[in-house]
Amino acid sequence: LMTKHSDKPIRTFSVGFSEPAYSELPFARRVADHFKTDHCELVIEADDLIDHLPKLIRHLGAPVSQSSDIPIYLMSERASQDVKMVLTGEGADEILGGYPKHRAESLAGIYRSLVPALLHDNLLAPLIRAMPGASAKFDTFARSAGERDFATRMISWFGAMTARQHGRVTGAPANCRNQRNNLPFSSSAKASHLRRALFFDQTSWLPDNLLERGDRMMMAG
């Protein structure tokens, strides 16, 4: 819409890494070429992350828990040289179901209807974790797919600590289900698994994490 109604090319900015495997710059460039924008790319190195870490901790007022905060800050710093306001693409995954967990959640109901909890907990979940090359994502799936309680499962998809792990850190017993009291699970239980997951993301993860962090980093830049 912007390119259609603007009489001059729209300025766009993208940040990526020197390691091609971790950079999405080629995809951003294709979009920029399609819409014929005045595109600017910023390539950062590993040293940039380390050098800016103390400054970003001050801006956040907390430890930097998401490595993407640093590229957002550096891109905002670069964009501020040319523009005073930007529109971001943040939130598309939460609206359109772009995360792997959304596809997994769509299938999880079928999985749980076919696999008894006892079989999942004592056989399948350990096998998934023991698979060659298994990563943290495998562990998250093994914990989440068989969870019957919706609220607990939503927390688990984020890779949150289990109740046992939480207790080891805090020194006190913890029940993951207690964490749901302040989380937005008021979507209709009759809605599909995917719609309920999207509702959770749009009313918690997106405004309380992604947008909040992004706002702080862009204002600092």
Q: Which residues pair with 141 in a beta bridge?
A: none
d(CA 80, CA 16): 17
75 has pLDDT over 70:
yes
Q: What is the mean pLDDT of residues 40-65?
A: 86
When pLDDT is averaged across residues 75-85 and rounded to a whole number, the result is: 92
Domain count, the chain: 2
| 143 part of a folded domain | yes
Mean confidence (pLDDT) of the chain: 82
The answer to whether position 218 is within a domain reads: no
Question: Which of 30, 60, 87 represents a domain boundary (last residue)?
Answer: 87
- Residue 40 φ/ψ, nearest 5 degrees: -125, 130
pLDDT at 3 over 70: yes
DSSP 19: S
Give the C-alpha distances (Å, rounded to integers) separating 65 from 60, 61, 70, 209, 210. Answer: 10, 12, 10, 11, 12
Same domain for 167 and 71 = no
Examine residue 170 and state whether it is found in any structural domain, yes or no: yes
What is the tens place of the pLDDT at every residue in 178-189? 555 555 556 677
Q: Domain check: are 127 and 73 in the same one?
A: no
Q: At 85, list the tokens.
A: 């306001």
70, 48 contact by CB (below 8 A):
yes
Residues 82 and 133 in one domain: no
Give the pLDDT score at 77: 92
Task: Look at residue 65 in the predicted model and tell me its pLDDT.
Answer: 74
DSSP annotation of 174 reads: -
Query: Coil, helix or strand for 134?
Result: coil
Answer whether 218's CB lies under 8 Å from 86's CB: yes
- For CA atoms 183, 187, 189, 194, the dihedral sign is negative
Domain presence at residue 19? yes
Q: Are 220 and 56 in contact (CB under 8 A)?
A: yes
SS3 for 42?
Answer: strand
Instruction: Check whether residue 101 and residue 203 sit in a common domain.
Output: yes
Q: What DSSP assignment string belongs to 99-122?
A: SHHHHHHHHHHHHHHHS-HHHIII
Q: Which residues contact 205 (CB under 8 A, 6 or more apart)?
A: 94, 158
Same domain, 124 and 79: no
Q: Which of 87, 116, 136 is the last residue of a domain?
A: 87
- In the chain, what percentage of residues exceed pLDDT 70? 88
For residue 157, tell me if it sits in a domain. Answer: yes
Residue 184: what pLDDT?
A: 58
Claim to verify: residue 121 and residue 74 sit in the same structural domain:
no
Residues 106 and 68 in one domain: no
The per-residue pLDDT for 28 is: 94
Residue 30 pLDDT greater than 80, yes or no: yes
Enclosing domain of residue 6: 2-87
Who's near 26: CB < 8 A, 6+ residues apart?
A: none
Enter the tokens of residue 32. Answer: 């920029």
What pLDDT, on the 0 to 100 scale, is given for residue 122?
A: 80
Per-residue confidence (pLDDT) for residue 35, from 0 to 100 = 93
Q: Which of 22-36, 94-108, 138-152 has the lowest mean pLDDT?
A: 138-152
Q: Is 70 a residue whose pLDDT tops 80?
A: yes
Please state, for a pLDDT cut of 90, what percent of the chain lies above it.
18
Residue 11 has pLDDT above 90, yes or no: yes
What's the pLDDT score for residue 185? 58
Do 69 and 108 have their domain in common?
Answer: no
Whether residue 145 sits in one domain with residue 64:
no
Q: What is the pLDDT of residue 181?
A: 54
- Which of the 8 DSSP states describes residue 41? E
The pLDDT tens digits of the residues spanning 113-168 come to 888 888 888 887 788 777 776 677 777 777 787 788 887 888 888 766 666 777 78
